[in-house]
């Protein structure tokens, strides 16, 4: 007999995609009141003359595709192109204290920002300010600091290459390397880990490689929700009978079965394609163990093959010619016992051996991974063990094989490429000096956590944000929010209102900017910008919608004006010229970074061009010129393990959100409707604590001591998740995290490995 489920919790039996995806888009369009314009807009996404979809960083088949339907891309676009606006009367009606009580969804749903605003503490309201006055305030705020290092310059990964390049130029000319960046909370483990392994902090595959792969491994990413256009690729691969092996604590529906909305037969017959050929429900934080288990099984297969007179299963030629460190890795993996691997990963030896068998039998393997790998206290180690596994069989730097970190924001990779980094390298410093006539400082600046820590203890006085919602995205809101409120100056260049803007400093400004879909007209006419996708393809993006208001400015234009007001004529930089025609910004990018040779010409070709990724061609930019097998001692990703009674919490995105942007309250594929105040738990873990499905519980983070990291009155949902693991939504769960729990190598918060204790809500 079926027991009644908690309110809003239901079984969802349909495949991912399909008609429900189309229905969801129709609903979003209606909610944003843009039916006619919206549908025309959707058709321009990722087209040669169109804009780059702000939804994710998955590449397009040459950006020349026929329209590829994507439910969550459609949500991202309709959210941006909404007919709703915030204007002067909106801000006159609502005090900041009142807005603070709104949900994150309500704040952004108020609509696009249309006026530059300054917070007035006397009235507790945002009031319109004119642009010149805003730039003067920022300039005087920055120029009166004791040192440029007292200012923090945050970037969220939607900024174009042009905006990001100008921003880093301004900030370096101003004199600091404090570049906290959303990447610090995302794929930093990739950016830090892979250069040591293979000499480049990016993925090595192209989209075409997927057509040639004969096995695909997927660790810790949820493509049906977060990079839905990848489903076309996985759907094609599954239909070619390419094994797709998934390691994920949750059974994500799109990885189980998917109905492609562009497939007329699947749509009409309501059928679907199974995606994963094997689904390993690993424990949260069990990847290091599983990866070592896979390598151990591959080494065992090799030994058995050699003993039987075979050639072994390792790519010995690759290992000898191209790598160093193999013996150390082998020793570490052999010293790790199966018992430990099984206990930590939660997978059986047989399951791991079977996956290793598929790996060893496949000629060409691609391994994809996302936040389930990077957001752990040892995320960098996870990434390096992935590289090791691939290197054992030479699966890097040849057709159909390679490592595929699935990036987050649509241009997070490009922002890094054009200089947003707190650790500038020599190429960047030399290039800047050659082109702009000054040598930027070389000392390491602050990453995202360090910037927040500096705000908390008073070392940082000013924060400028190029997009994003830093305070809500960061762990530990109690500590983070207090830090933001201590600042002297905070400035947000944004499209919509969010909670970070409400954490007012002595002086706070919110500056409305154009978004991807908006037409950007400058002195020389309409402008395009450029972005780089997960596979290092750079292409143009051009918006075409009338901007939401006359007063909005483009991100590059706002940055240039801040720069001019702040720097005066301290440097000979032609800010106006670059804004008049973005080709001139691209010329400067090309001068600083020779990889962008012929930038303006190459980016005008449909599909753009691929940046050089040396490891894709087996050139290893490491100190010893080899790909390096790197050892990660032990199996624990999120120490301390083994706290009595603790569960390991992972924080995930719902199907109806984009990071801190909450489009709606459903998480359809996981069977959650109309609410987000739930956590997913194994029913035996519930029973063991005297709890049951639907009970109200409190969740306490166990790092950081005391009762500081506590959230209350969440509903426990019995769910198919391994014992000892528990999952809840980001950002609600950020309150159980200590700011000090992060990967010491990359600075990435351990968002996917938080030891917690749960108990029935007491009162």
Ligand X SMILES: Nc1nc2c(c(=O)[nH]1)N[C@H]1C(S)=C(S)[C@@H](COP(=O)(O)OP(=O)(O)OC[C@H]3O[C@@H](n4cnc5c(=O)[nH]c(N)nc54)[C@H](O)[C@@H]3O)O[C@H]1N2
CA distance 534 to 40: 26
173 vs 185 by CB, closer to ligand X: 185
Measured CA to CA, the distance from residue 271 to residue 241 in angstroms comes to 17
- Kindly tell me the burial class for residue 224, based on how many C-beta atoms sit within 10 Å of its own C-beta (0-12, 13-18, 19 or more): buried
Binding to ligand X, residues 406-425 (CB under 6 A): 408-409
- Kindly state the number of chain residues that form the binding site for Mo ion, as judged by CB under 5 A: 2
Residue 371 in contact with ligand X, rule: CB under 6 A: yes
Of ligand X, Mo ion, none, which one does residue 381 interact with (CB within 5 to 8 Å by kind)?
none
The SS3 call for residue 638 is: coil
16 binds ligand X (CB under 6 A): no
Strand partners, 215: 365
Binding of Mo ion by 234 (CB under 5 A): no
Closer by beta carbon to ligand X, 222 or else 682: 222
Kindly list the distances between the CA atom of residue 530 and the CA atoms of 45, 99, 162, 517, in Å, as whole numbers in the listed order.
14, 35, 7, 13
Among 94, 257, 752, 757, binds ligand X (CB under 6 A): 752
Element (H, E) at 657: strand 657-658
Binding residue (CB under 6 A) for ligand X from 90, 119, 219, 582: 219
Interaction partner, residue 541 (ligand X, Mo ion, none; CB < 5-8 Å by kind) = none
User: Binding of ligand X at residue 658 (CB under 6 A)?
Assistant: yes
Site for Mo ion in 397-416 (CB under 5 A): 408
Q: Three-state SS for 677?
A: coil
Q: Which CB sits closer to Mo ion, 182 or 294? A: 182
Query: Kindly report the CA angle at 459 between 156 and 375, in degrees rounded to 5?
Result: 40
Asked if 294 interacts with ligand X (CB under 6 A), we say no
Q: Which is nearer to ligand X, 370 or 419 (CB)?
A: 370
Mapping DSSP to helix (H, G, I), strand (E, B) and coil, where does residue 409 land? coil
Q: Which does 32 bind (CB under 5 to 8 A by kind): Mo ion, ligand X, none?
A: none
**Interface region with ligand X, contact rule CB under 6 A, candidates 358-366, 385-393, 461-469, 572-580:** 461-469
Residues 455-494 that bind Mo ion (CB under 5 A): none
Q: Which helix (H) or strand (E) holds 522?
A: strand 521-522
Q: In angstroms, rounded to a whole number, what is the distance separating the alpha carbons of residues 431 and 537?
A: 22
Region 497-556 residues binding Mo ion, contact defined as CB under 5 A: none
Identify whether the C-beta of residue 751 lies closer than 8 Å to the C-beta of residue 185.
yes
Q: How far from 698 is each of 557, 644, 670, 674, 761, CA to CA, in Å?
A: 47, 17, 22, 20, 5
Among 650, 715, 746, 750, binds ligand X (CB under 6 A): 650
Q: Which does 754 bind (CB under 5 to 8 A by kind): ligand X, Mo ion, none?
A: none
The correct pick among 186, 291, 585, 718 for binding Mo ion (CB under 5 A) is: 186
> Is residue 373 involved in binding Mo ion (CB under 5 A)?
no
- Specify the residue, 256 or 583, whose C-beta has the smaller distance to ligand X: 256
Beta carbons of 177 and 445 less than 8 angstroms apart: yes
Q: Which residues contact 2 (CB under 8 A, 6 or more apart)?
A: none
Residue 185 binds ligand X, judged by CB under 6 A: yes
Q: Binding residue for ligand X (CB under 6 A) from 41, 417, 507, 734?
A: 734
Which residue's beta carbon is nearest to the bound Mo ion? 408
Geometric angle at alpha carbon 173, from 168 and 178, rounded to 5°: 55
Q: 252 vs 302, which CB is nearer to ligand X?
A: 252
Please give the Cα distance from 760 to 763 (Å, whole number). Answer: 9
Taking residues 713 to 732 in sequence order and writing x for each that binds ligand X by CB under 6 A, - otherwise, the string is -----------------xx-
Residue 112 CA to residue 631 CA, distance in Å, equals 49
Radius of gyration, CA atoms only, the chain: 25
Beta pairing partners, 323? 627
Residue 477 binds ligand X (CB under 6 A): no
Q: Site for ligand X (CB under 6 A): which residue of 282, 298, 462, 627?
A: 282
Q: Collapsing DSSP states into helix, strand and coil, what is residue 291? A: helix
Q: How far is CA 322 from CA 60, 318, 422, 629, in A?
A: 31, 5, 31, 11
* Residue 653 within binding range of ligand X, rule CB under 6 A: yes
CB of 525 to ligand X, least distance (A): 21
Token pair listed for 478: 């109690």
Report how far residue 667's alpha carbon sits from residue 717's, in angstroms, rounded to the nearest whole number: 13
Q: CB-wise, 280 or 407, nearer to Mo ion?
A: 407
Contacted entry of Mo ion, ligand X, none for residue 194, CB cut-off 5 to 8 Å set by kind: none
123-142 binders of ligand X (CB under 6 A): none
Contacts of 378 (CB under 8 A, 6+ apart): 288, 632, 636, 637, 638, 639, 743
**Cα dihedral value 166, 168, 172, 175, nearest 10:** 110
Kind of pairing, strands 257-259 and 273-274? Answer: antiparallel
Rule CB under 6 A: say whether 652 interacts with ligand X: yes
Nearer to Mo ion, 662 or 716 (CB): 662
| Helices and strands per DSSP (H, E), number in the chain | 32, 31
User: At its nearest, how many Å lie between ligand X and the CB of residue 339?
Assistant: 20
- When asked if residue 381 is in the footprint of ligand X (CB under 6 A), the reply is no
Q: Number of residues in contact with ligand X, rule: CB under 6 A?
A: 61
Q: Which does 456 bind (CB under 5 to 8 A by kind): Mo ion, ligand X, none?
A: none
Q: Which does 730 bind (CB under 5 to 8 A by kind): Mo ion, ligand X, none?
A: ligand X
Tokens of residue 680, six digits: 């997913």
Tokens of 345: 């990963």
Q: List the interface residues with ligand X, window 536-565 (CB under 6 A).
A: 555
Measured from the CB atom, the residue of 372 and 704 that comes closer to ligand X is 372
Decide: is 657 part of the binding site for ligand X (CB under 6 A). yes
Helix H, strand E, coil C: the string for 460-472 is CCEEEEECCCHHH
Asked if residue 394 lies in contact with residue 613, where contact means CB atoms within 8 angstroms, the answer is: no
Instruction: Say whether residue 733 binds ligand X (CB under 6 A).
Output: yes
54 binds Mo ion (CB under 5 A): no
Structure tokens at 107: 């704040």
Residue 503 contacts residue 484 (beta carbons within 8 Å)? yes
C-beta closer to ligand X: residue 317 or 744: 744
Residue 731 C-beta: closest distance to ligand X, Å: 6
Query: Does 55 interact with Mo ion (rule: CB under 5 A)?
Result: no
The answer to whether residue 159 forms part of the interface with Mo ion (CB under 5 A) is no
Q: Which member of 191, 248, 480, 750 binds ligand X (CB under 6 A)?
A: 248
How far is the C-alpha of 90 from the C-alpha of 149, rounded, in Å?
36
Q: Where does 229-319 show beta strands of DSSP type E?
A: 244-247, 257-259, 273-274, 278-280
- With binding defined as CB under 6 A, does residue 498 bind ligand X? yes
Name 539's bridge partners. Answer: 531
Q: Which does 734 bind (CB under 5 to 8 A by kind): Mo ion, ligand X, none?
A: ligand X
> Which tokens in the block code for residue 34?
């843009």
528 binds ligand X (CB under 6 A): no
C-beta of 336 vs 651, nearer to ligand X = 651
CB of 144 to ligand X, least distance (A): 25
Give me 582's structure tokens. Answer: 């973005």
Per CB under 6 A, 285 contacts ligand X: yes
Whole-angstrom distance, CA of residue 330 vs CA of residue 631:
9
Shortest Å distance, C-beta 400 to ligand X: 23
Contacted by 282, from ligand X, Mo ion, none: CB < 5 to 8 Å by type: ligand X
Residue 496 touching ligand X (CB under 6 A): yes
495 binds ligand X (CB under 6 A): yes
Integer Cα distance of 233 and 56 in angstroms: 15
Site for Mo ion, rule CB under 5 A: 186, 408
Task: Give the residues lining the site for ligand X (CB under 6 A).
Answer: 55-56, 72, 108, 156, 158, 182, 185-186, 219-222, 225-227, 247-250, 252, 282, 284-285, 287, 370-372, 375, 408-409, 466-470, 473, 493-496, 498, 513, 515-516, 555, 650-653, 657-661, 730-731, 733-734, 751-752
């Amino acid at each position: 007999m079926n027991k009644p489920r908690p309110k809003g919790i239901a079984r969802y039996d349909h495949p991912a995609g399909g008609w429900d995806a189309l229905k969801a888009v129709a609903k979003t369009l209606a909610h944003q009141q843009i039916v006619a314009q919206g549908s025309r807009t959707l058709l321009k996404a990722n087209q040669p003359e169109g804009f780059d979809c702000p939804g994710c960083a998955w590449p397009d088949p040459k950006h020349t595709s026929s329209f590829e339907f994507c439910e969550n891309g459609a949500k991202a676009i309709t959210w941006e192109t909404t007919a709703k606006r915030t204007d002067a009367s909106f801000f006159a009606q609502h005090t900041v204290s009142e807005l603070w009580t709104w949900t994150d969804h309500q704040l952004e749903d108020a609509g696009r920002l249309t006026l530059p605003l300054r917070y007035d503490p006397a009235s507790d309201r945002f009031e319109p300010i004119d642009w010149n006055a805003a730039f003067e305030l920022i300039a005087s705020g920055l120029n009166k600091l004791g040192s440029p290092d007292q200012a923090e310059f945050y970037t969220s990964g939607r900024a174009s290459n042009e905006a990001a390049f100008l921003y880093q130029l301004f900030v370096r000319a101003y004199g600091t390397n404090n570049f906290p960046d959303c990447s610090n909370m995302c794929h930093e483990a990739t950016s830090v880990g892979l250069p040591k392994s293979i000499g480049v902090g990016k993925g090595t595959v192209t989209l075409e490689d997927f057509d040639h792969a004969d096995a695909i491994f997927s660790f810790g990413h949820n493509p049906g929700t977060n990079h839905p256009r990848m489903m076309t690729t996985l759907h094609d691969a599954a239909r070619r009978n390419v094994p797709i092996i998934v390691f994920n604590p949750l059974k994500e529906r799109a990885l189980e079965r998917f109905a492609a909305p562009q497939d007329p037969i699947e749509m009409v017959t309501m059928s679907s394609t199974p995606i994963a050929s094997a689904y390993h429900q690993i424990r949260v934080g069990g990847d290091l163990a599983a990866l070592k288990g896979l390598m151990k099984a591959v080494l065992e297969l090799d030994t058995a093959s050699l003993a039987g007179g075979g050639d072994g299963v390792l790519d010995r030629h690759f290992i000898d010619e191209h790598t160093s460190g193999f013996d150390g890795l082998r020793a570490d993996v052999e010293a790790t016992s199966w018992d430990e691997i099984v206990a930590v990963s939660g997978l059986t030896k047989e399951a791991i051996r079977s996956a290793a068998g598929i790996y060893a039998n496949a000629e060409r393997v691609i391994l994809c991974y996302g936040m389930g790998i990077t957001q752990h206290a040892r995320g960098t180690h996870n990434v390096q063990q992935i590289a090791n596994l691939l290197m054992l069989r030479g699966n890097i730097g040849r057709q159909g094989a390679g490592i595929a970190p699935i990036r987050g924001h649509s241009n997070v990779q490009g922002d890094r490429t054009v200089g947003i980094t707190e650790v500038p390298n020599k190429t960047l410093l030399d290039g800047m000096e050659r082109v702009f006539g000054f040598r930027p400082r070389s000392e390491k600046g602050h990453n995202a956590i360090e910037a927040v820590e500096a705000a908390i203890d008073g070392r940082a006085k000013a924060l400028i944000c190029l997009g994003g919602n830093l305070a809500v995205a960061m762990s530990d809101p109690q500590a983070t929010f207090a830090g933001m409120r201590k600042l002297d100056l905070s400035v947000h260049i944004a499209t919509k209102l969010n909670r970070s803007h409400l954490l007012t400093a002595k002086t706070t400004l919110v500056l409305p900017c154009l978004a991807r879909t908006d037409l950007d007209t400058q002195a020389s006419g309409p402008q395009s910008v450029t972005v780089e996708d997960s596979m290092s393809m750079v292409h143009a993006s051009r918006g075409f919608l009338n901007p939401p208001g006359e007063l909005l400015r483009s991100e590059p234009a706002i940055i240039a004006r801040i720069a001019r007001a702040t720097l005066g004529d301290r440097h000979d930089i032609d800010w106006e010229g670059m804004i008049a025609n973005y080709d001139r910004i691209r010329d400067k990018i090309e001068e600083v970074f020779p990889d962008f040779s012929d930038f303006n010409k190459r980016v005008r070709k449909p599909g753009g061009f691929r940046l050089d990724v040396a490891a894709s061609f087996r050139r290893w930019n490491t100190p010893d010129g080899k790909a390096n097998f790197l050892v990660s001692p032990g199996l624990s990703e999120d120490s301390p393990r083994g706290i009595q009674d603790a569960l390991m919490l992972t924080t995930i995105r719902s199907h109806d959100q984009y990071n801190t942007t909450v489009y709606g309250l459903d998480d359809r594929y996981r069977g959650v409707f109309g609410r987000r105040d739930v956590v997913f738990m194994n029913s035996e873990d519930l029973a063991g604590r005297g709890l049951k499905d639907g009970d109200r519980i409190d969740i306490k983070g166990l790092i950081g001591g005391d009762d500081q990291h506590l959230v209350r009155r969440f509903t426990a949902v019995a769910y198919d998740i391994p014992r000892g693991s528990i999952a809840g939504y980001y950002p609600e769960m950020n309150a159980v995290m200590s700011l000090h729990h992060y990967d010491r190598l990359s600075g990435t918060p351990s968002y996917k490995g938080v030891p917690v204790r749960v108990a029935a809500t007491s009162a």
